[in-house]
Amino acid sequence: MKILRYPSAAADKKMRAIIGRDIDFRKADVQAVTRILNDVKRNGDEALIRYCQAFDAPRMTVDTIAVTPEEMAAARAKVDRAFMRALNRAAAQIDAFHRQQLPKSWVDTRRPGTFLGQMVNPVDAAGVYVPGGKGGNTPLVSSVLMGAIPAKIAGVPNVVMVTPPMPSGEVAPHLLVAAKKAGVDAVYKVGSAWAIGALAYGTKTIPKVNVIVGPGNIFVTLAKKIVAGTVGIDMIAGPSEILIIADAAADPEYIAADLLSQAEHDPLASAILVTDSADLAQSVDAAVENQLGDLSRADIARQSLSAFGAIMVVRNLDIAIELANHIAPEHLELQVAEPMDMAPRIRNAGAIFLGPHTPEPVGDYVAGPNHVLPTAGTARFSSALSVDHFIKRTSLIRYSQAALRKEARDIICLATVEGLGAHANAIQLRLSKTKG
């Protein structure tokens, strides 16, 4: 990895390259995905089957697109006890964390003659997109849990899951078992942009939903961007990223492993270490090189580290904190002597991992907080996927006659300033009818 002094011209140039790798879509991809979405909107199941047969499962039919109860039951026999133990732990801890987020309806009657409040209701239906994971060979179980569990806690009555089928037309058993555990109501064997179209517009087989969540490739991401507004979405997610702030006492082997855990995702992933120790910087660089040789995705990790990885050596950790807040990373690890003292100074990060025994993969799988996090600097203004993504807040307002008379003059004044005479008249009329 390249070791740079920060601030410096070279470091600034590197940071511009990393920050500038925002989510970009080619015109040809936008046009292709738009055609697919319009096709699904017009032709429904016919379009889904056509795309599914062409790209995923050649023998897929309308009759086999929905996972059956028999398939769900058969999946349980295909997973081992170790998987069930891990699944149960992850699901329980994700559930416990997200239950703390559940908002409540409330009312306020402190102002005489008024009744104000807020009703909290879940959306009617939500769709969870789960990537295929190398044709089903690497089932992304955590994506099922992170998408479906918050939706069910929010009270969504109909949570459906879509995922690309394997060439055989089946879905990986681990995904089906996870779906059952998370409370998913139906699973459909469709993927890519056409699956997003089905969720956004509905077909005869797949119901239209109100919110779509879950990660995917560039075509899934672009499809979500296009249908946003027709339905709600969680976020437009870019490549994964990690920033580690470390002091001289940090373990270089730990840091190297954690940097590589993100670099292996994608050639566009970003992995950055910021430290006030030049000696640690050198040790981490050597550890990264040593560990790379053991990785099955070493080529991807090398590309990522070369283009968007860096080790920044700063004068002190105050500068490191400033840099972290500027970058607003998806994952931020604080491998310093007193991480709890540093954490309150972090304003912009998707998730903060505190101390040497809290590597980022803990958050990916079992800790409890959601692993669907803002990327590409969007942690400056957005948050992790949560129960909030699946609920609506409706305001309640009731005035008595006396309360309206008390505030009428101010309402009329503001409406008049805005040039909205009918607004003012709606108040004045009531005053006229209630005089005396």
Residue 305's nearest CA partner among 315, 295, 314 is: 295
Structure tokens at 347: 């304003």
Extract the runs of DSSP E, i.e. beta strands, from 290-341: 309-313, 331-335
* Pairwise CA distance, residues 353 & 363, whole Å: 8
H or E stretch covering 110: none
Backbone angles phi, psi at 381, to 5 degrees: -140, 5
Find how far residue 322's CA is from the centre of its chain. 25
* Pairwise CA distance, residues 303 & 307, whole Å: 6
Catalytic annotation, pick one of 174, 265, 331, 371 = 331
* Pairwise CA distance, residues 235 & 243, whole Å: 21
The verdict on whether 330 is a catalytic residue reads yes
Helix (H, G, I), strand (E, B) or coil at 175: helix
Residue 128's nearest CA partner among 54, 170, 178 is: 178
Catalytic annotation, pick one of 241, 264, 330, 360 = 330
Residues, the chain, total? 436
- The CA–CA distances, whole Å, from 67 to 75, 166, 182, 188, 338 equal 11, 13, 16, 6, 50
Structure tokens at 247: 């002091």
The verdict on whether 331 is a catalytic residue reads yes
Residues 359 and 332: beta-carbon distance below 8 Å: no
* Pairwise CA distance, residues 256 & 423, whole Å: 63
Residue 218's nearest CA partner among 26, 19, 2 is: 26
**Which are the contacts of 238, defined by CB distance < 8 A and separation ≥ 6?**
21, 22, 23, 268, 375, 376
Residues 67 and 163: beta-carbon distance below 8 Å: no
Residues 95 and 382: beta-carbon distance below 8 Å: no
Residues that are catalytic: 330-331
